[in-house]
Amino acid sequence: MSQEREQEFRPVNQVLGSQPSLGPIPADQILPWTVIALASYFIINGIFGGLFQEEFQKWLWTVLMTGWGIGTWWILTGGRSWSFLSKFIGVPAWTRGFARYQSLLEVNHEAKNRKTKRRHRRKRK
């Protein structure tokens, strides 16, 4: 009986189905975080670099801006990234639909036709 039970169970690789990561950082977050860090570095040191008198202030603001950007991105896309990023799927270019014809010369053309048709129907009765 014990041999039959051992044959029923198969060993399973526990890594199957798990999300790849680099330590505690999810792999799908590495590229956006790098872009956020580089952008904040260039914004603080390139554009606003002359406003800071000390080098420490530049790096402090760079780290704060990078942390804010990474935190925001992780909150929006971490775990269930499809819930936020699926909102940006493009709308199809072709749709089915029919527009009613409207004359540029007479706006109430259909209303006038309806009134005349009703008058003729009333006269015939």
21: CB partners within 8 A, 6+ apart: 27
On average, the pLDDT of the chain sits at 77
Q: What is the pLDDT of residues 63-87, one digit of tens each?
A: 999 999 999 988 888 776 667 777 7
Confidence bin at 89 (pLDDT 50/70/90) = confident
User: How far, in Å, are 56, 60, 62, 89 from residue 53 at the CA level?
Assistant: 9, 12, 14, 44
Element containing residue 68 per DSSP (H, E): helix 55-77
Q: What is the pLDDT of residues 20-43, one digit of tens each?
A: 777 777 788 889 999 999 999 999
CA distance 20 to 23: 9
pTM across the whole model: 0.53
Q: 81 near 28, Cβ under 8 Å?
A: yes
pLDDT recorded at residue 43: 92
Q: Where are the beta strands (DSSP E) in 12-123?
A: 21-22, 25-26
Residue 117 has pLDDT above 60, yes or no: no
CA distance 56 to 39: 18
Give the bridge partners for 25, in sequence order: 22
pLDDT recorded at residue 46: 87
Q: Quickly tell me which residue has 């259909």 as its tokens.
A: 110
Confidence bin at 6 (pLDDT 50/70/90) = low
